[in-house]
Amino acid sequence: MKTRQFLMVGAGLSGAVIGRELAEHGHEVTIVDSRSHIGGNCHTERDADTDVMVHVYGPHIFHTDDEEVWNYVNRYANFLPYKNRVKTTSKGQVFSLPVNLHTINQFFGKTMRPDEAHAFITQEQADTSIADPQSFEEQAMRFVGRDLYEAFFKGYTIKQWGCHPSELPASILKRLPVRFNYDDNYFFHKFQGMPENGYTDMIAGILDHPSITVKLNTTFERSMSDEFDHVFYSGPLDGYFDYELGRLGYRTLDFERFTYDGDYQGCAVMNYGEEKVPYTRITEHKHFAPWEAHDGSVCYREFSRAAGPDDIPYYPIRQVKEKALLNEYVERANKAQNVTFVGRLGTYRYLDMDVTIRESLDTAKAALEAVSEGKALTPFFVSVL
Ligand SMILES: Cc1cc2nc3c(=O)[nH]c(=O)nc-3n(C[C@H](O)[C@H](O)[C@H](O)COP(=O)(O)OP(=O)(O)OC[C@H]3O[C@@H](n4cnc5c(N)ncnc54)[C@H](O)[C@@H]3O)c2cc1C
């Protein structure tokens, strides 16, 4: 098979995983990233003063049910056991999240057993008059009732999304994780862990291949495509078209970094459920590496707001207005030549890391098949709308 020249835009997980697969199959891969580091939003680096591994763009916990993806990441990093145990401060107390039996008993000042708590929540708390919840608010009221909804979901959601839960679709809260036992593991997945030396080190391992060249501090321009057979673009979909139709809406995050001598909060993630506290959560990064010991500590207070043109796009909003614009960009993209849109920004979706890797492996496989059959590569290998 003839060697092809591929350009990957973005040295995050999408660009790295697809690039590696193509390189493994004999193709030449150039990766550009406008940032000064690889790793995309998963980037981690050690703080010079405390030596704490900092999750620079916000906390990242690896969790998956996909065994192939778990084996894939374990090829490039030593994963150590890590369970995400989130706490939340509300009404002057600290509770466990997701809502579990401890949360319920503590919140209502009771000592219920699982079946008693189940009956209490479903029969006395839940608003059973809501037969078909239409909004996030109705969904929460339907499942846990007003008291728990207001303490743990309402304020947090207003801060995170900048609108009232009655304006958000019920689908955001598809399954409300309420546990009638004392399990406080935030995730349900079979595999969960943290790379011992951080995500950037893992992604450096993925990129370490003689047929991969990485160029940092290099922003993609469409004219660059001429030098390559095909481009995989993991930048913002609307950005590829110079925002000609307008901007797809995103939420961005501001991190107010502070250091502390000792242990600031005793856990990695503390949410703040009340609207009157302006931040959504505080992360204390050293607790993401419980196998390390550090005297000092690095913490992030996290604030969420609408992304402006110069902000980092974090969470796609994907409400009715944004979906209409997305439709228009997808129409344009479907007519574009020699480019495939990938990853969280290229497809305007929130993707966990395991899903990003799964999609990247599948995209690379489909692309390699198309190349071997002499077919053109499609603009999307996943459903975006
Ligand atoms: C706050 C937050 C917390 C998260 N926590 C978790 C978690 O706990 N667990 C989990 O599984 N997932 C988590 N995720 C999801 C995870 O970040 C994504 O799965 C992952 O980053 C997707 O990788 P990507 O390569 O598609 O995108 P990115 O990581 O965004 O990489 C895209 C890269 O493209 C570059 N780029 C963009 N435009 C251009 C251009 N024009 N020219 C050159 N380069 C360009 C960018 O600089 C960036 O480096 C979280 C996401 C966020 C926002």
The DSSP symbol for 171 reads G
Pocket test for ligand 1, best of 60, 222, 342 (most atoms within 8 A of CB): 60
pLDDT of 176 higher than 70 = no
pLDDT band at 175 (very low <50, low <70, confident <90, very high): low
Q: What is the pLDDT of residues 232-269, one digit of tens each?
A: 999 999 999 999 999 999 999 999 999 999 999 999 99
Confidence of residue 163 (pLDDT cuts 50, 70, 90): very high
Where do the domains of the chain lie? 5-47+63-82+192-244+318-372, 102-175
**Lowest model confidence (mean pLDDT) among 121-130, 132-141, 152-161, 171-180:** 171-180
Is the shortest distance between the CB of 40 and ligand 1 below 6 Å?
Answer: yes
Residue 378: alpha-carbon gap to chain centroid: 25
Ligand 1 contacts CB of residue 316 (under 6 A): no
Residue 44: the pLDDT is 98
Residue 198 has pLDDT above 90, yes or no: yes
What CATH class is the domain 5-47+63-82+192-244+318-372?
Answer: alpha beta
| Terminal Cα-to-Cα distance of the chain (whole angstroms) | 34
In this prediction, residue 170 has a pLDDT band, given cuts at 50, 70 and 90, of confident
Question: Model-level pTM?
Answer: 0.96
Active site residue 302: yes
The pLDDT of residue 173 is: 73
Q: What is the dihedral of CA 320, 324, 326, 329, to 10 degrees?
A: -170
Following DSSP, what letter does each residue of 99-159 receive, concatenated?
--HHHHHHHHT----HHHHHHIIIIIIS-TT-SS--BHHHHHHHHT-HHHIIIIIIHHHHH
pLDDT exceeds 80 at position 215: yes
**Per-residue pLDDT, 172:** 76
- For the chain, the average pLDDT equals 96
Q: Is residue 64 scored above 70 in pLDDT?
A: yes
- Looking at the chain, the whole-number percentage of residues with pLDDT higher than 70 is 99
- The candidate with the shortest Cα–Cα distance to 121, out of 87, 86, 149, 96, is 149
46 catalytically annotated: no
Q: pLDDT value at position 258?
A: 98
Whether 14 contacts 343, CB under 8 Å: yes
**Is the pLDDT at 87 greater than 80, yes or no?**
yes
Q: Is the pLDDT of residue 1 over 90?
A: no
Ligand 1 mutation target, pool 42, 206, 283, 349, most atoms within 8 A of CB? 42
- What b-and-e string marks burial along 157-171, b requiring 16 or more CB atoms within 10 Å of the CB? bbbbbeeebeebebe
Bond into 98 cis (ω within 30): yes
Q: Tell me the C-alpha distance between 86 and 186, whole Å.
A: 6
Residues 311-324 have pLDDT tens digits of 999 999 998 899 99
Closest CA to ligand 1's atom 29: 40
Q: What percent of the chain shows pLDDT beyond 90?
A: 94
Whether 349 is catalytic is no
What is the tens place of the pLDDT at every residue in 105-151? Answer: 999 999 999 999 999 999 999 999 998 999 999 999 998 999 999 99
Is residue 19 lining ligand 1, measured as CB closer than 6 Å?
no
